[in-house]
Amino acid sequence: MRVAVRAEDRSVQTARVWRRPGFALECGARLDVEVAYETWGELNTARDNAVVVCHALTGDARAGDTADGPGWWSAMVGPGKPIDTERYFVVCSNVLGGCAGTTGPSSIAPDGRPYALRFPEVSIRDMVRLQMELLDALHVAGIRAVVGGSLGGMQAWEWALLDPARVQHVMVIAAHAVFPPLAIGYNAAMRQAITADPMWCNGDYYAAGTIPEQGLALARTIGLLTYRAGDLYQQRFARRTCSEPRQGAPVERVEAGRAHAVAERRWRSPDGNGQAAAFTAPLFEVESYLAYNSRKFVRRFDANSYLYLTKAMDGHDIGRNRGGLAGALRQMRARLTLIGISSDYLYGARDLAKTAALAAAAGVRGTYLELDSQFGHDAFLREDPRLQAMVRDQLERV
């Protein structure tokens, strides 16, 4: 356990691992689970000031700043910030099936070997039910809000329906109540990129001592192309090449520019051994950006976790076994704040607005808001004062 106390405030941050033996999954399997989670702030005497933050596909439990560094949502979580750790007891855990401390396919099974594809399939509901039990273990009686974007927003949808007695408010950012077919298609393409890599070894690359680096990097590249808006790529890169990086250009462009210069020399070499580089080495700045970030991602994320988590996203449908979407919305008791992003390609703001209208027709108390941003789906992860104001204002309404 790590405990950190800021000198300038009374906000306490801790990082722990919680163990849950024999956790039952929707698929029928039972699993001994470890959950990595972090908390900020303190639970009040009524034990009802909790805020649950749910992370996106490649996130982890470190939503806010810790003694070891900044969190992935540092602009949103902390003392005096929209999710104020001096007022709320904030909890964020790594999802089931992940690779940042919570049990997943890379974890060691009881026989001493990594689970690999022996790991059972998990669902968004499995993730949330495990989080609910974690909150039970932390003696949380009331949850002011559950907040999340993308995969985190899918979890927030399920929180409202699985734990109506405790959850007062769910704040869903850039996430449909039912995962759309376009997003399923992109997830399928990303999984095919991983499984087609010979180094994947049918999922048992741990034993083989390999990493499906090319496949996972390609999956990440596909993801990056969908998470950002086309106008942003035009503005940032246009058709500029990286062979002569501009002054002050990001390091990935400099690195890729040098790589391409070497590739050009190999291409022109008499033996011709470098001809393939014309098709593999980045020429344009946008290529170098994607290549650099994809390589960086491979060093921190497990390929099998990527497979399992994207498969769980495909199955997300709050209407499943609840009488369809309309039936599920009629069961909601928590206040709903649904936030769309104007340039989101995967989770269109217009579609989210329609869902908000359906929710209102079903009697759900709530609000639809839209963030006008050029950054596409990933806009919720940026330090945007407008989004911060939306979250702060909506939390105040509880």
Beta strand 30-40 pairing with 12-24: antiparallel
Residue 33 near residue 107, CB atoms below 8 Å: no
Q: Which structure tokens are listed for 275?
A: 């001809």
Respond yes or no: is residue 150 known to be catalytic. yes
Q: Is residue 154 within 8 Å of residue 131, measured between CB atoms?
A: no
Among positive and negative, which fits the CA dihedral 22, 318, 343, 379? negative
Cα 309 to chain center, whole Å? Answer: 10
d(CA 212, CA 223): 17
Choosing from 317, 344, 378, 384, the catalytic residue is 344
Concatenating the DSSP letter of every residue in 191-243 gives HHHHHTSGGGGGGTHHHHT---HHHHHHHHHHHHHHHS-HHHHHHHTTT-BSS
Query: Token digits for 176?
Result: 């449909």
- The rounded distance, in Å, linking the Cα atoms of 398 and 396 is 6
Active-site residue, from 93, 197, 377, 384? 377
- Looking at 150, 288, 294, 305, which residue is catalytic? 150
What lies within 8 Å, CB to CB, of 166 at 6+ separation is: 135, 140, 141, 142, 143
Nearest to 216 by CA among 135, 307, 149, 126: 307
Dihedral angle of Cα 149, 155, 157, 159, to the nearest 10 degrees: -130
Active site residues: 150, 344, 377
